[in-house]
Structure 1
């Protein structure tokens, strides 16, 4: 998923800001997909997390909970 407003030097917390800008679309896609990878606007991996599924990242799970209020 492309995160709007997030540049190549992304850091923890940027996901929350991006989701709040387009919350409904990203949340639905995130929940429906078994495998998710987030990309910055320049198509680099969010926070340089080079793992197959960002849903397996504790950092991502924490940010999703903060952005949506929904726990893993």
Structure 2
């Protein structure tokens, strides 16, 4: 579960959008070719996919939360 600090950090540090086919949903995998960005919280990274910011598990590349 992401901390408030992580969500605040991600919203304060927007990144360029990457466009991918398919829906942006929890449990979907992010291709390894997509660059993800570090957050202060260990084990998570973030990226903007199809204009939606998502938190990704750093080890598996699976979306764990879509920030709305």
Using structure 1 for the length normalisation, give the TM-score: 0.33
- Pick the structure with more helix per residue: 1
- Pick the structure with more strand per residue: 2
Using structure 2 for the length normalisation, give the TM-score: 0.34
Higher relative contact order (CA 8 A, sep 6+): 1
